[in-house]
Amino acid sequence: MPQKADERRSFLHIRALMATTGEGLIAIGPDGDVIVFNETAEELLGVPRSKTSGKPYTSLQQPKIEEAVEHLLRPRTRKTSHTMRVVIGERVVTATVAPYDFAGRRAAVITLRDDTVLEADRRRSEAILASTGDGLIVFDPDDVVTYINPAATMLAGLMPSAFLGKSTPLWEMLAMMPEDGFAPAIDGSQVREVRLEEPAHRIMDVRTDPVLDEQGGYLGYVATLHDVTAEREIGQMKNEFVSTVSHELRTPLTSIKGYIDLILDGEAGEINEIQREFLSIVKQNSDRLVELINDMLDISRIESGRIHLKIQPLDMSDLIAGAVDTFQAVSDQSGHKLVPKAPRDLPKVAGDRDRVGQVLVNFISNAIKYSPEGGSVTVKAKQDGDMVIVAITDQGIGIAKEDQAKLFTKFYRVDSSLTREIGGTGLGLSICKSIIELLGGKVGVKSTPGKGSTFWFSLPVASKDLVRTPEVEGPGAAGGTVLVVDRDPQVANLVQTYLAKQGYDVVKAHTAREALTKAIAVRPRVITLDVMLDDGDGFDLLQQLKDTPETTDIPVLVLSIVCDEGRSCRLGAADYLEKPIDKNRLITIVDDLVGSVTAPVVLVVDDDRNIVDLLCHNLKSNGFSVVAAYDGAEAMASLRKTHPDLILLDLQMPVMDGYQVIEKVKTNPATKDIPIVVMTAHQIDRSRIDILGLAQQKVDKPFSADDLARRVEALLEDMLVNS
Ligand code: ADP
Instruction: Tell me how far the alpha carbon of residue 366 lies from the centroid of ligand 1, in angstroms.
Output: 6
Q: Residue 396: pLDDT above 60?
A: yes
Mean pLDDT across 69-77: 84
629 pLDDT tier (thresholds 50, 70, 90):
confident
When pLDDT is averaged across residues 187-196 and rounded to a whole number, the result is 83
pLDDT at 691 over 50: yes
CATH of 232-304, one of 1.10.760.10, 3.60.21.10, 3.90.1150.10, 1.10.287.130: 1.10.287.130
Question: Would the pLDDT of 475 be above 50?
Answer: no
Ligand 1 proximity of 433 Cβ (cutoff 6 Å): no
Of 130, 120, 79, 100, the closest CA to residue 30 belongs to 100
Fold of 118-227: Beta-Lactamase (3.30.450)
| 113-136 mean pLDDT | 90
Q: Answer whether 393 contacts ligand 1 (Cβ < 6 A).
A: no
Whole-model pTM: value is 0.46
497 touches ligand 1 (CB under 6 Å): no
Residues 132-153: what's their mean pLDDT? 91
Best substitution site from 413, 416, 453 to test ligand 1's pocket, by max atoms within 8 Å of Cβ? 413
Examine the pLDDT at 184 and tell me if it is beyond 80: no
How far apart are the C-alpha atoms of 353 and 312, rounded to whole Å? Answer: 7
Assess whether pLDDT exceeds 70 at residue 567: no
Q: Is the CB of 452 under 6 A from ligand 1?
A: no
Report whether pLDDT(472) > 90.
no
Looking at residue 274, what is its pLDDT? 94
Question: What distance in angstroms lies between residue 447's CA and the mean position of ligand 1's atoms?
Answer: 12
Report whether residue 697 contacts ligand 1, using a CB cutoff of 6 Å.
Answer: no
pLDDT value for 469: 32
Rounded to whole angstroms, the Cα distance separating 52 from 238 reads 76
**Interval 224-229 mean pLDDT:** 93
Report domain extents, the chain: 2-114, 118-227, 232-304, 312-460, 472-596, 600-722
Q: Contact at 8 Å (CB) between 144 and 129?
A: no
Task: Tell me the average pLDDT across 413-417.
Answer: 84
Indicate the pLDDT class of residue 470, thresholds 50, 70 and 90: very low
Higher pLDDT among residues 690 and 544, named by residue: 544
Average pLDDT for the chain: 84
Q: What is the per-residue pLDDT for 721?
A: 56
The C-alpha atoms of residue 304 and residue 434 are separated, in whole angstroms, by 12
pLDDT greater than 70 at residue 387: yes
Class of domain 472-596: alpha beta
C-alpha of residue 374 to centroid of ligand 1, in Å: 19
* H/E element, 94: strand 91-102
Model pLDDT for residues 296-341, shown as the tens digit of each residue: 888 887 877 667 677 778 899 999 998 998 888 888 888 899 999 9
Q: Which residues have a Cβ under 8 Å from the Cβ of 420 and sit 6 or more positions away?
A: none
- Ligand 1 within 6 A of 454 CB? no
Cβ(642) – ligand 1 distance below 6 Å = no
Which of 384-398, 508-522, 643-657 reaches the highest mean pLDDT? 384-398
Instruction: Give yes or no for residue 46 having a pLDDT over 60.
Output: yes
Closest CA to 136 of 228, 37, 222: 222
Decide whether 2-114 matches 600-722 in CATH topology.
no
Give yes or no for a contact between 85 and 92, defined as CB atoms under 8 angstroms apart. yes
b/e 128-156 (16+ beta carbons within 10 angstroms → b):
ebeeeebbbbbbbeeeebebbbebbbebb
Segment 599-622, tens digit of pLDDT: 678 899 988 877 787 787 778 777
The pLDDT value recorded for residue 653 is 83
Residues 6+ apart with CB under 8 A from 469: 312, 313, 622, 706, 709, 710
Asked if residue 207 has pLDDT above 50, the reply is: yes
Do 507 and 484 contact (CB within 8 A), yes or no? yes
Q: Is residue 413 in contact with ligand 1, taking CB distance under 6 Å?
A: yes
Res. 484: pLDDT tops 80: yes
Instruction: Phi first, then psi: give them for residue 157, nearest 5 degrees.
Output: 60, 40
Higher-pLDDT residue of 7 and 295 is 295
Residue 455 reports pLDDT greater than 90: yes
For ligand 1, the distance from its centroid to the CA atom of residue 581, given in whole angstroms, is 27
Is the pLDDT at 509 greater than 80? The verdict is yes
**Is ligand 1 within 6 A of the CB of residue 295?**
no
Which superfamily does 600-722 belong to? Response regulator (3.40.50.2300)
CA–CA separation, 624 and 601 (whole Å): 6
Three-state SS at 208? strand
The structural architecture, per CATH, of the domain 2-114 is: 2-Layer Sandwich (3.30)
pLDDT score of 266 more than 80: yes
pLDDT tens digits for range 425-438:
889 999 999 999 88
- Residue 305: its pLDDT value, please? 67
Q: How much is the average pLDDT of 139-158?
A: 90
Query: To the nearest whole percent, how much of the chain has pLDDT over 90?
Result: 30
Give the separation between CA 480 and CA 484, rounded to whole angstroms: 13
What is the CA(376)–ligand 1 centre distance, in A?
17
Q: Name the percent of the chain lying above pLDDT 70.
A: 92
Lowest-pLDDT choice from 79-83, 207-211, 242-246, 481-485: 242-246
Q: Name the CATH superfamily, with its identifier, for domain 312-460.
A: Histidine kinase-like ATPase, C-terminal domain (3.30.565.10)
pLDDT for res 87: 92
Q: Does residue 429 line the site of ligand 1, with CB under 6 A?
A: yes
Contacts of 712 (CB under 8 A, 6+ apart): 602, 619, 622, 624, 646, 648, 677
Report how far ligand 1's centroid is from the alpha carbon of 715 (Å).
49
Q: What is the mean pLDDT of residues 541-558?
A: 86
pLDDT at res. 113:
94
338 lines ligand 1 (CB under 6 A): no
- In tens, the pLDDT along 693-719 reads 777 777 766 677 777 777 887 777 776
User: Are the C-beta atoms of residues 91 and 73 closer than 8 Å to each other?
Assistant: no
Please report the pLDDT score of residue 564 as a whole number: 61
Reported as a pLDDT band with limits 50, 70 and 90, residue 468 is very low
User: CA nearest 341: which of 293, 392, 375?
Assistant: 392
What's the gap in Å between 414 CA and the centre of ligand 1?
A: 7
Question: What value does the mean pLDDT take over residues 229-237?
Answer: 86
Write the residue with the smallest CA distance to atom 19 of ligand 1. Answer: 366
